[in-house]
Amino acid sequence: MQTPLLKAAIIDRRVLYDAQHPTRRFFDTLAAASVDLKPDDAHDRTLIELAGSLAEMIRDEFVDDLGIFETAKHELDAFLDAERASCNQELAKAVPLLIAQDEAAAARDEAVTAIEARLAGRTVTPEIRAFLDNDCVERLTAIDLDQGSESLAWERQLSVEGGRAPVLARLAWRAPQRKRLLFSYRDGSTAFVHAPESLAEPFRIGCATLAIEAVSLFDRAMARLIDRRSQATESEAAVSA
């Protein structure tokens, strides 16, 4: 193709410096499309055969009409457009699957992290651990993908699974707007954080209960008062005797 290109430049010197010249655009497009073509590849061989056909047409028919390069470019563009459309169709099939796989992996990682946070500082049997690492992770992953990790379903499932090893925690801090409730263990470390709405659901389904002291503060105070009154009565009786 060197001879036709040189001949075209002699006819119109703009071929040498004008990147938008039709002749120049044909050669640039052909060069870009020909990068890394493999003759033993069926797809690449189609473009190689087209390039050869266009080169033969230019070699045999080009005299002084530069329009032949524009005609060749139109034919080349039609092939490349069809190739891009086919490529885009394949991408349209592959990309959603890859996105779904990435989302599933991220949801699974979030489920694992949530369970690890709930189990922090706690000891569970190997059987329960295996259940949490498999069945529970799968459930939480499915919920995350369907409704998100901020949903009530997520909090409910996490509370249910976390409830398999009871946790005693106290309300340690309440956000000023009462949107988040922080519960802590006896040593002050964080047990979990709930929104009022997400905390209500575990109570509703019986996965959480309000832990009341075996003897309430009121009952203990009344018992001490009664004891003191009894001791005073006994003392008065002893003095009278």
Residue 215 confidence class, pLDDT cut points 50, 70, 90: very low
Here the tokens at position 183 are 């519960």
Residue 210 confidence class, pLDDT cut points 50, 70, 90: low
Residue 71 confidence class, pLDDT cut points 50, 70, 90: very high
Section 52-60 average pLDDT: 89
Cross-strand pairs, 138? none
Give residue 105's pLDDT. 92
Give residue 95's pLDDT. 83
Q: What is the pLDDT of residues 104-136, one digit of tens each?
A: 999 999 988 988 887 777 776 676 677 778 877
How many Cα atoms are found within 13 Å in the side-chain-facing hemisphere of 61? 13
Q: What is the pLDDT of residues 134-154, one digit of tens each?
A: 877 888 898 899 888 888 778
Section 174-180 average pLDDT: 67
CA angle 169, 170, 173 (to 5 degrees): 125
Exposure letters 152-182 (e unless 16+ CB within 10 A, then b): ebbbbbbbbbbbeeebebeeeeeeeeeeebb
Pick the closest to residue 155 from 122, 186, 181 (CA basis): 181
Section 57-77 average pLDDT: 90
Cα 187 to chain center, whole Å? 35
DSSP-assigned letter for residue 134: I
pLDDT, mean over the chain: 78
Q: Is 145 exposed, middle or buried, given 0-12, 13-18 or 19+ CB atoms closer than 10 A?
A: middle
Domain extents in the chain: 2-96, 121-205, 215-241
The lowest-confidence range among 35-39, 44-48, 86-90, 223-227 is: 223-227
The residue among 69 and 188 whose pLDDT is bigger is: 69
Judge contact between 59 and 4, C-beta under 8 A: yes
* Separation CA 125–CA 128 (nearest Å): 5
The residue among 31 and 211 whose pLDDT is bigger is: 31
Among 44-58, 158-172, 201-215, the range of highest mean pLDDT: 44-58
Section 72-96 average pLDDT: 88
